[in-house]
Amino acid sequence: MAKKEETVSLVDTFAEFKELKNIDRPTMVSVLEESFRSVLAKMFGTDANYDVIVNPDKGDFEIWRNREVVADEDLTNPNMQIPLTEAQKIDSSYEVGEEVTDEVNFASFGRRAILNLRQTLASKILELEKDTLYNKYIDKVGTIISAEVYQIWKKEMLLMDDEGNELLLPKSEQIPSDFYHKGETVRAVVERVDNKNNNPKIILSRTSPTFLQRLFELEVPEINDGLITIKKIARIPGERAKIAVESYDDRIDPVGACVGVKGSRIHGIVRELRNENIDVINYTNNTQLFIQRALSPARISSIKLNEEERKAEVFLKPEEVSLAIGKGGLNIKLASMLTEYTIDVFREVDNSVSPEDEDIYLDEFRDEIEGWIIDAIKSIGIDTARGVLNAPREMLIEQADLEEETVDEVIRVLKKEFEED
């Protein structure tokens, strides 16, 4: 009875493995057979004379041993041979030289054999699980996935996917303002799969430019359909990003399509990236024009290129220099990253502006006013703060297609600037 219970226990163990590891039937059958054969080979030196039959539908298995009938005095290997007198107890017609096949109760080999089998099976299952995990995620590199926060450490977060696989989001791959609690869902891109010593580690990223690209592909159908292509991305995570796009259809404005009506498309991306400011510009093969666009919102007077050293000397009016450099130098740094040119800014001397004519370009307010709102106002021909304040409120609402609350907030910010001055 004890041996039978042990056999049943083995079958239950196999069923548990299949349930927990989500391994398909053919693979499980193969793993079970290999495990049995491995134990038999250790016990008897060979498994060549054994037939292992796994019955997944019935949830059991059979082991059959093939032995050659030999004269009693010639018996040298009980595993490969069976004495004639013992063979004839099975069937009196057996003769020397014939082969006897009889079923073996694996539990009869003892507890040690069963323990060995369980250890072998567990090892093979673990190895198979690692291979399955590696193969699954190596094909997902560069794609966005969602996972649940399981544990938070100082240098990384442990996440779990829908199948209970462990994923890592290092601190270096998190946006500086990211803050999560256990149980929350995180969206990130699969950055890479490390597989040192056959121990796969899935590394996720929210700071990768690829993450930004995939978010645009999800939000902008024209990109997903191939009508608009993302040519280049430069990003300082959590702060600002520049993305260059190109349309293959003259009827489609790539920048407008990416931003969406009233910023509808870019809003979701900005929220996902913790309010990261995103500049979308038109890509061009013309290097000078591309650098000019990359330095937006600054207006450039002239550019001198050194293509061999990939350097650009950019000349601007004094009031444009701060725009070109940007807060904390972010704008010029991103423009250099996007164009792959080292950009040096030079100030032009201009004494023609009198104090009463002083104005401020709207782009200087991008830290206080969302970029898409500024772009909407500029699209109707107004690009300075005084221009907005002098324009009828109704015109801003209707022609720039903005909400009343949005226009009122813009006016408040701009008035505050001049009052402070």
pLDDT number for residue 293? 95
How many Cβ atoms are within 10 Å of 159's Cβ, its own excluded? Answer: 25
Beta strand 201-205 with 166-170 is: parallel
Average pLDDT (5-19) is 53
pLDDT number for residue 15? 57
Q: Where in the chain is the domain with CATH 2.40.50.140?
A: 146-207
pLDDT number for residue 381? 73
285-to-146, 176, 187, 291 alpha-carbon distances in Å: 36, 34, 34, 10
Neighbour-count burial of 157, counting CB atoms closer than 10 A to its CB (0-12 exposed, 13-18 middle, 19+ buried): buried
Query: Band of the pLDDT at 21, cuts 50, 70, 90?
Result: low
pLDDT tens digit string along 51-100?
Answer: 988 876 666 788 898 999 999 999 999 889 999 999 999 888 999 999 99
- DSSP annotation of 171: G
Full-model pTM: 0.67
- H or E element that contains 128: helix 111-138
Q: Per-residue pLDDT for 213 more than 90?
A: yes
Q: Per-residue pLDDT for 43 more than 50?
A: yes
User: 5-14, 328-337, 384-393: which range is least confident on average?
Assistant: 5-14
Mention the CATH class of domain 355-420: mainly alpha
pLDDT tens digit string along 120-138?
Answer: 878 887 888 888 899 999 9
How many Cβ atoms are within 10 Å of 60's Cβ, its own excluded? Answer: 14
* Residue 47 near residue 37, CB atoms below 8 Å: yes
pLDDT number for residue 328? 82
Q: Per-residue pLDDT for 5 more than 70?
A: no
Q: Where in the chain is the domain with CATH 3.30.300.20?
A: 284-349
Q: Where in the chain is the domain with CATH 1.10.150.20?
A: 355-420
145-149, 259-263, 401-405 — most confident range = 145-149
Query: Band of the pLDDT at 1, cuts 50, 70, 90?
Result: very low
Better pLDDT: 9 or 402: 402
Closest C-alpha to 293, from 301, 283, 306: 283
Average pLDDT (330-346) is 93
Mention the CATH class of domain 284-349: alpha beta
249 Rama class: left (phi>0) / alpha (psi -120 to 50) / beta: beta
Q: Which fold has domain 2-135?
A: N Utilization Substance Protein A; Chain:P; domain 4 (3.30.1480)
Q: Where in the chain is the domain with CATH 3.30.1480?
A: 2-135
Q: Which fold has domain 146-207?
A: OB fold (Dihydrolipoamide Acetyltransferase, E2P) (2.40.50)
Using CA atoms, how far apart are residues 98 and 114, in angstroms rounded to an integer?
31
Q: Per-residue pLDDT for 359 more than 80?
A: no
Using CA atoms, how far apart are residues 81 and 103, in angstroms rounded to an integer?
15
Query: Band of the pLDDT at 6, cuts 50, 70, 90?
Result: very low
pLDDT number for residue 17? 55
pLDDT tens digit string along 317-334?
Answer: 888 888 888 888 899 999
Q: Per-residue pLDDT for 352 more than 80?
A: no
- H or E element that contains 150: strand 144-152
* Residue 111 near residue 117, CB atoms below 8 Å: no
How many Cβ atoms are within 10 Å of 240's Cβ, its own excluded? Answer: 22
Using CA atoms, how far apart are residues 79 and 406, in angstroms rounded to an integer?
87
Query: Band of the pLDDT at 219, cuts 50, 70, 90?
Result: very high
